[in-house]
Every structure is written in structure tokens, then in C-alpha cells.
Structure 1
């Protein structure tokens, strides 16, 4: 079609112009033929480039498709079969993102349900058993000879420590403070527990006027902060962590930075999980790591 258009324009130009071509080409007619041929080829190239640009964009977009991330849609600027191909590709991306979001949401919902179940069992079964054992040891201490009381006190301390640890695990698995008091209070408690467990100082800048948000958004922010702090404790070797939470009318930003050693970030299960959680609430997770500034997640 494009070549036909160029041929038609060239024919009309030749017919309507004063230029003539003899049966035996004269030297004076050669420049006219060369210029005409060059003009036709240039016009043909420009038209082909313009018409095939959407195809180049399609090929480039296909190369950038990453299932765990959102992909840009291609402008529907083609014609005919090309337009249909672009529309089909965009529809495929929509379908992939819908399926990915549904699958990730189901998997994370099942994960949260399992966390809640384990937390209940820890509290109701193991926690209650340790409490009964602690009470039994107290009665034994009251009745035991003086020489045995020291050993029984040590046993009490060990059981009490185990009970505290079980309670802490249950809280981390199912943060009741998040459901009861909201994200601000939950992050405060999380940072305090992190400092108590690791000795790493946490500098908090949390929006004190933050209103209650959608439960899914609050849960995602809490889990991302929890995983980020866990990564700091395991890998960063940091002395200080900064946690910022800032809200505007349209955006919520959570930023966690440490002064650790930084290094190459590998997409392990923790980071992949954080990214999947962020996508569920239409958020973006970015990680910046360098040897001089530690690591920043947000």
C-alpha cells in the first residue's frame, strides 16, 4: 500500500511536471531521473519508517516484559493487522497482570491465614503449656528444700524466657497492634522490638497525624518494614537504622535506610515477597545499595 502510494505520487509528479524523458536518454535528463528516483526512495523510506515504528515499539516492549512487574502499554498507532497485533499484545499484558495479581493475592492471603493459625497455636497450645509449667515450678519452689531452690529458679527463668520468646514470635506472626491501633503504632512497636532484639538504634520519623488506611495497605507496609529490618539485622552490619513514614493526599511513602556495609542486592525470597506485596496495593518497591551509604528500601 505504501509503495503504491509513492508510485502514484511519483507518476502524478512526472505527468504534471515540465520534465520529459526521451526514448534515448539525453545527458541533460539524467539529473532529473536521479533526483526523481532519490525523492521517491526517500519518501518511501520515510513512510515505511513511520508505518513500522509501532512494530519496533512492539518488539521493544516484548523484550521488556517482566511478569513480576507492571509493563507499559503500547500506543495503538498501527493500521490493519499491525493494529490488531498491538491490541492483542496489550490485552495479553492486561490478562497477565490480572492473573498475577490474583495469584499473588491468593498466595499472600493464604500466607497471612497460616501466620494467624500458627500464632494462635503458639499462644493457645505452647504458650499455655509453658504457663502451666511455670506455675508448677513456682509451687515446686515453695515446697522444695533450700538446696534445690536455686536450680528451680534457673528452670523458672528458662521457662519464662521461652514463654516470652513464643509470645514475641506470635506477635510478629500476627501483629494485633496493627489491627487495633493502626500502622503508626504498629511501626513504633516493631522498631522498639527490633532495637531490643538487635541493639541497633532506630531513628523514627513517622507521620503522627496518619489516619487509618485500607487494611491491605497497612498490612503491606508493616510486612515490608518487618522484612527490611530483618534484612538489616542479618546482612547489613548496621549501627543505626532510619524509618520514615510520610503521607500526602495521594501517596504514602515508607523509607528504611541503614548505615551498614551495603553491597550487591540479590532478589531472594524476602525481596521478591516485598515486591509482590507492594504490587498488590499498586505500590513500587525500590532498593538502593552502596558501600558508603548502606541500604535504602522504600
Structure 2
């Protein structure tokens, strides 16, 4: 039955019941209308409106649930679908909405995968150019400065040494940027070694200490899964260094049942209820590529920030 006929029949039922009471009941209307008669008519009208509202609310309740689902749906946080309830057009509308969500999530995952693959390729290209072009140029500058300093008078030699140190620091910084853009240790030594190296790079002598705990019996992972786990850990530690004001951070990777859990905690000032930025949304997009779930919230003691990535383990043949 269509929505139109359901609403029409509900209202017809209420009006028919009211007309039956007027025709078959002992109530009559005088001219002019008496006060008691007016009160009875008003009470009957109120009863009709309440009955009509109750029936319509019951009939349209599935639409209200669908409206709430539409207003809270986030493709970066896949959740449960609205339950198909009601009849006719309402049930068909809910089924269509669920089908649309499935299609949108599939299309978003595919497009995000292509975009992130292109991003990784561009990062590798930039890292290669930094290493080959800029790195070699700065190395040549360092050699030239050393030769010039060896033949320079004493008054100028000290200044040339200072320029050498500045150039060497710039070369080290460029190499560090290239390593972050293209994690060679991840490709060559695997995820565990890459996370250890990342923890060491994020530790600062004067402010932040990053400790790590990585299970020794981690299952073998595919290259996409390793890259997602590494990038999420990298982005999390970068946010801690830049924004959290933390003194200590902890990174762990362990197996919990049929899932792999990456956990990053810090003792900083937390998110403060701020809206999620591009970094966290980027992590959510990466998590969707491997069917993982990402949660961001306060630490277990209510302070700092905790980022948890739960990735389901799959058989290697899948």
C-alpha cells in the first residue's frame, strides 16, 4: 500500500469513528449552542486530533529513523544501516537508501585508493629528486666549501666553516624529508623496523620521548596494509610533535584475536573537542582501504589523545 493511501485511510478511519459517534450517540447540537455541547464537541475534536497524531506518528516512524540516519551518516565512519521497517513506499525508500550507502562507500574506497596511490607515487618521485638532485648539489657545495676553507686565510676560514655546518644541516634535513616521503626502511626491512625507526626519529632530546612495544609474533602483512599502518603511525606522531605539547608518547602494535591493533597514546592536552582536521580525515581514508576502523579520543585516564587502528587479519590467499 502506498504512503498516500495509508495516510488517507488513517484519517478516514478517525473521521468515520467521529461521525459514527455523532450519528449513533445521544449527543445533539442546539441552536444556539449550549456550553455543555460546546465542551463535548471540543473534547471530541481533541480526541480526534490525538488519535490522528498517534496513528500518523506510528505510520511515519520509519521515515523519522531514516531521517536521523541520513543526517548522521559519514562515509569515513561506516556503521550499521537503518532497519527496513514499514510497508510499501517507506520500506522501499529505506532499502534504496541502504543500497545507495553501499554503492557510495564502495566508490569512495575505490577513488580514495586511486588518489592515495597517486599520492604515494608523487612522494616517491619528489623524494628521489630531493636525494638525487638537491642532495648531490649540496654535497658538491660542501666539497667546494671545504676546499675553499683549506686555502682561505685564517680570518675567512672560520666563516667558511660556519657556512659548511649550515649547508650540512640543510643536507641532513633534506635527507630526513626524503625518508619521510619515501620510507625506504619499510620497503627493505618491513613494518616492525620502520616503526622502530619512526619512534626514534620522533623522539626529541629536549621535549618528547617516544617508547614503542611491537609484538614479536606479528602475522605477515601485505604491502598495502603495511603502508597504511606506517602512514597512520607517522601522521599520529607528527601531530603529537607539532600540536599536543606532550612529554611522553607510546606506540604499540599487537595482535588481538583476529585483528591487528595499532595504538598511539600521548600525555598532551588532547584535542579539546576541536573538529577533525585534514590529517585525521586522511588517516580515516587510509583505514578504509584495508577495512580497518580508526578511533580518536582521550586516553584511558581522560588526558592526552589515543589513536587506535583496528585492522582485521585476512588469509593471504584472499
Residue number in structure 1 paired with 2:291: 282
Superposed displacement of residue 150, structure 1: 2.3
What do the CA deviations read for 1:208-244 (whole angstroms, capped 9, x no partner)? 2224312111111111111111111111111110111
Q: Does 1:271 align with 2:280?
A: yes
Cα distance in 2 for residues equivalent to 1:244 and 1:138:
44
Structure 2: how far apart are the matches of 1:261 and 1:249? 32
Give the one of 231, 235, 243 matched to 1:223: 231
2: distance between equivalents of 1:91 and 1:147?
78
Q: Indicate how the Cα distance of structure 1 residues 202 and 217 shifts in structure 2: closer, same or farther if over 3 A, else same.
A: same
Name the CA shift for 1:84/1:147 in 2 (closer, same or farther; >3 Å): same
- Deviation of 1:95 after TM superposition, in Å, equals 1.2
Q: Secondary structure at the match of 2:216?
A: coil
Counterpart position of 2:202: 194
Q: Deviations over 1:118-149 (max 9, x none)?
A: 10110011001011111222222333344433
- SS of match in other structure, 1:67: coil
Aligned positions of 1:1-298 closer than 5 A: 54-196=62-204, 199-248=207-256, 250-262=258-270, 263-289=272-298, 293-298=303-308
Aligned-partner Cα distance in 2 for 1:91–1:292: 39
**Once the 2 structures are TM-superposed, how far is the Cα of residue 49 of structure 1 from its aligned partner?**
8.0
Q: Structure 1 length as normaliser, TM-score?
A: 0.78
Q: What residue ranges of structure 2 are gaps of 5+ in the alignment?
A: 14-22, 27-51, 309-318
Report the count of equivalent residues.
272
How far 1:72 sits from its partner (Å)? 2.1
Q: Which moved more, 1:169-178 or 1:111-120?
A: 111-120
Q: Which one is further off, 152-161 or 193-202?
A: 193-202
1:47-100 C-alpha deviation (Å, 9 max, x unpaired): 988876644443332232223321422344554333332221111111111121
2:37 corresponds to which residue? none
Give me the whole-angstrom Cα distance separating, in 1, the residues matched to 2:170 and 2:24: 106
Structure 1 residues without counterparts, runs of 5 or longer: 8-22, 27-43
| Superposed displacement of residue 289, structure 1 | 2.9
Match in the other structure for 1:32:
none
CA spacing shift, 1:233–1:221, aligned 2, 3 Å: same
Alignment TM-score, normalising by the size of structure 2 = 0.74
Where 1:210 maps in the other structure, the secondary structure is coil
What RMSD in Å do the two structures reach over aligned CA positions? 3.4
